[in-house]
């Protein structure tokens, strides 16, 4: 499984929008892009039914009957919710969307949402969210990566390619126990608890080191 697929498998996209057409359309688009999603027709339904312990993001409409998107955002802030928020807005609501950014929203998307923009925003959001779980900044992650030994980088490269510890051991002429020991040390150095979190950290490093950043 590719790195991007591993990240997507851990990340749940919540859609909160009172328009059934928008809910259906976005869920179909997300499925095509390989993301897991769940739709809620109101802020109240989201608060009642959503398991916010599952890593992910909220695609949140601003204008809804009953509780507005802005009010829901404030409630999530008050409960110290870790979920990222991406606002979905019409052109007339852009000034309001900018206000949500100042209150901590990750980004905003204007309707109609294009697949390219949606994929880009969610990919960046997921990588930063999962890497943040390590408690390390991009600069700290880069420093850790630069201090890895050649052997550790070789193993990390094969982990990214999806090889198992046994396959890595065969490729590098090591014992499987030795490879597992290196992988455990890598997890400790990056302060992560799973392979997907480690891959997310590497995604942040790759993006930070890419030209233009």
User: Could you identify the residue written with the tokens 């992650």?
Assistant: 141
- Report DSSP letters for 119-188, one per residue: HHHHHHHHHHHHHHTTT--HHHHHHHHHTS-HHHHHHHHHHHTT--HHHHHHHHT--HHHHHHHHHHHHH
Q: Is the pLDDT of residue 205 over 50?
A: yes
Could you say which of 132, 152, 182 is where a domain stops?
Answer: 132
Q: Are residues 177 and 76 in the same domain?
A: no
Question: What is the predicted pLDDT for the residue at 93?
Answer: 67
Q: Is the pLDDT of residue 39 over 70?
A: yes
Cα distance between residue 139 and residue 209, in whole Å: 10
Share of the chain above pLDDT 70, in %: 90
Tens of pLDDT along 116-173? 999 989 988 887 776 666 667 778 888 889 999 999 999 998 988 889 999 999 999 9
Are 18 and 85 in the same domain? yes
Residues 93 and 119 in one domain: yes
Q: Which residues pair with 85 in a beta bridge?
A: 58
> Containing domain of residue 11, as a range?
3-132
Residue 57 has pLDDT above 80, yes or no: yes
- Residues composing the chain: 213
Would you say residue 103 has pLDDT above 80?
no
Give the least confident one: 102-111, 154-163, 175-184.
102-111
Do 95 and 165 fall within a single domain? no
| Residues 12, 84 within the same domain | yes
Token output for 111: 């309707």
Domain boundary among 64, 97, 132: 132
Residue 2: its pLDDT value, please? 44
Specify the number of domains making up the chain: 2
The CATH number linked to 204 is: 1.10.10.10
Confidence check: pLDDT of 60 > 90: yes
Q: How confident is the model at residue 92 (pLDDT cuts 50, 70, 90)?
A: low
Q: Which residues of 32-71 are buried (b: 16+ CB within 10 A; e: fewer)?
A: ebebebbbbbbbeebbeebebeebbbbbbbbebeebbbbe
Given 117, 132, 147, the domain boundary residue is 132
177 and 83 part of one domain: no
Give the chain's mean pLDDT: 85
Tokens linked to 131:
């890497």
Report whether pLDDT(177) > 60.
yes
What's the rounded Cα separation, in Å, for the pair 69 and 61? 6
Asked whether residue 149 falls in the same domain as residue 119, the answer is: no
80 with 179, same domain?
no
Q: Is the pLDDT of residue 47 over 90?
A: yes
pLDDT score at 113: 87
Is the pLDDT reported for residue 21 higher than 80?
Answer: yes
């Amino acid at each position: 499984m590719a790195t991007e697929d591993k990240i997507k498998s851990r990340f749940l996209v919540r859609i909160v929008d009172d328009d059934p057409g928008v809910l259906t359309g976005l869920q179909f688009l997300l499925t095509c892009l390989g993301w897991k999603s769940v739709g809620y027709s109101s802020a109240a339904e989201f608060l009642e039914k959503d398991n916010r312990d599952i890593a992910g993001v909220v695609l949140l409409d601003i204008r809804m009957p009953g509780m507005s998107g802005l009010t829901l955002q404030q409630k999530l802030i008050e409960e110290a919710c870790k979920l990222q928020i991406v606002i979905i807005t019409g052109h007339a609501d852009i000034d309001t969307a900018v206000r949500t950014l100042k209150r901590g929203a990750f980004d905003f998307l204007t309707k109609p949402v294009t697949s390219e923009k949606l994929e880009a925003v969610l990919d960046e959001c997921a990588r930063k969210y999962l890497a943040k779980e390590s408690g390390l900044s991009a600069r700290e992650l880069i420093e850790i990566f630069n201090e890895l030994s050649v052997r550790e980088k070789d193993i990390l490269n094969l982990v990214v390619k999806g090889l198992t510890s046994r396959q890595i051991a065969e490729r590098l002429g090591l014992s499987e126990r030795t490879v597992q020991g290196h992988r455990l040390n890598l997890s400790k150095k990056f302060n992560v608890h799973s392979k997907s979190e480690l891959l997310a950290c590497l995604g942040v490093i790759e993006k930070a080191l890419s030209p233009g950043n």
